[in-house]
Amino acid sequence: MTPLSATACAIARPRTDRGQGDRIALSAATSHGSHLRTEDVRVWLEERRQANDFRVERIPFDALDQWRFKPGSGNLGHRSGRFFTIEGLHVEERDGPFGDGPRREWQQPVIRQPEAGILGILCKEFDGVLHFLMQAKMEPGNPNLVQLSPTVQATRSNYTRAHGGADVKLIEHFFQPERVIADVLQSEQGSWFFRKVNRNMIVETVDEIEADDDFRWLTLGQIAALLHDDLTVNMNARSVLSCLPFPDCTPGALFSDTQLLSWFTGERSRRDVRAHRIPLSSVCGWKQGPESVEHEEGRYFRAVAVAVQAGNRERIQWTQPLFEAIGVGVVAFLLRDFGGIPHVLVHARADGGFLDTVELAPTVQCTPRNYAHLSTVDQPPFLGIVLNASPSRIRYEAVHSEEGGRFLNASSRYLVVDTNDTETPLDPPPGYAWASLAQLTELTRHGHYLNVEARTLLACLNALSTQPKGGA
């Protein structure tokens, strides 16, 4: 592959490109782009919404085209065998010092998509500043349909033979990348997906790029400003942006990297999570109707079907299933400075859909409605602190939606909340630890450390630290 073609330079080079960090920092500090004002991005997004005749309608399962519940298993899948399936999942989880403590066990529907797709952002220097090519992309599950997405977001089915529509625009830049800034397989929602990963890529080019009206070049400073808007930067874009190798400008952290990794290894070792797929038709606690598969108590989510019409997507029209959220989520990091260095309280979270037991999650990640039937002591830890925080302590707040190609109206309030020693002692409860932003940024070079919600908040925190002043 091209990035490792070395015949022209058979001598050693530095293992780290130190200039790259400075160029990323410069782009983050640049709130005026070379191509359009940040305010005009909002106008352009609205124009893209209007220019296309997007319609998303709920339909009963039996109106799905090419999708069917398979006889026997009852799993919902595409006739081609590609894209994704909705199946059942059985999870057993044990906690305690050696995975021999209290036991939980449950079943649920889950989305299985074993192929890794590509989420790629192309970037290029204009006027000496890195700009990132963002797409105005319609996804049927987004409450406002069109949001800012990576340059490309394509399942393997999209860019190979399974898809009947047009080729994925600009995908070729990610097959033979000239200069790679980030390239890592990252996980997605472990409570709704079974071990789903996507390849998160940031690639620099010096080529002339022909990009149509669905694309715009933006600085990181502009994207940072837009991350303060509700429902504007989609989940895939946030995930890819979280993998940017921002330089560490801080002199240290509360714990050394080795200590932090050791704590994480301990968390992954002590939890015993065993998840295996089961037929959708056998899932206990859920009921299937003509228009949805839903939890018997109405909690968590439901599987539904939609028909989509769109003018600028790869295919003109299609039908597909989606998971519809029940209630709005709350996703928050508690933030403290130690020695002047910002740290967040990460949670070692075990989800049935994680490939490897535990990933690092935000301090709080839940849908409060799912806990409404429980007493105060059974509410998720730290949720009260986040919900009751006075405005002066809220350092960041915006509503973002999740993966609009698979989830319908799945939105969460993302927050970063200042905290103090009374609420959050230096020695947090088991399963929680303080990590600096630089430590989390470095961990995004590798997969299965930060979950997708933590990556969203990391992208927002990096946006926060660049303190965009609007740029309009």
Of 159-178, binders to a copy of itself (CB under 8 A) are 159-161, 177
Ranges within 111-140 binding a copy of itself (CB under 8 A)? 114-116, 118
- Decide the pairing of beta strands 329-338 and 364-366: antiparallel
Q: CB 253 → a copy of itself: shortest distance, Å?
A: 5
**Residue whose CB is less far from a copy of itself, 250 or 288:** 250
Q: CB 315 → a copy of itself: shortest distance, Å?
A: 19
Distance CA 367, CA 364 (A): 10
368-to-110, 174, 193, 238, 376 alpha-carbon distances in Å: 21, 39, 20, 23, 12
User: Position of tokens 């700009």?
Assistant: 131
Cα end-to-end distance, the chain, whole Å? 41
Q: CB 449 → a copy of itself: shortest distance, Å?
A: 8
Ranges within 70-99 binding a copy of itself (CB under 8 A)? 98-99
CA-based angle 336:337:338, to the nearest 5? 120
18 binds a copy of itself (CB under 8 A): no
182 binds a copy of itself (CB under 8 A): yes
315 binds a copy of itself (CB under 8 A): no
b vs e for 255-283, b when ≥16 Cβ sit within 10 Å of the residue's Cβ?
beeeebeebbeebbebbbbebebbebbeb
Site string for a copy of itself, 237-276 (x = CB under 8 A): --------x--x-xxxxxxxxxxxxxx-xx-xx--x-x--
In Å, how far from its chain's centre is CA 79? 28
Q: CB 76 → a copy of itself: shortest distance, Å?
A: 19
**Residue whose CB is less far from a copy of itself, 230 or 442:** 442
Site string for a copy of itself, 196-225 (x = CB under 8 A): ---x-x------------------------
Q: CB 148 → a copy of itself: shortest distance, Å?
A: 24
Q: CB 69 → a copy of itself: shortest distance, Å?
A: 22
**Residue whose CB is less far from a copy of itself, 203 or 410:** 203
Site string for a copy of itself, 442-471 (x = CB under 8 A): ---xxxx-----------------------
Distance CA 404, CA 139 (A): 5
Asked whether 63 and 305 are in contact (CB, 8 A), the reply is: yes
292-to-96, 118, 388 alpha-carbon distances in Å: 37, 30, 35
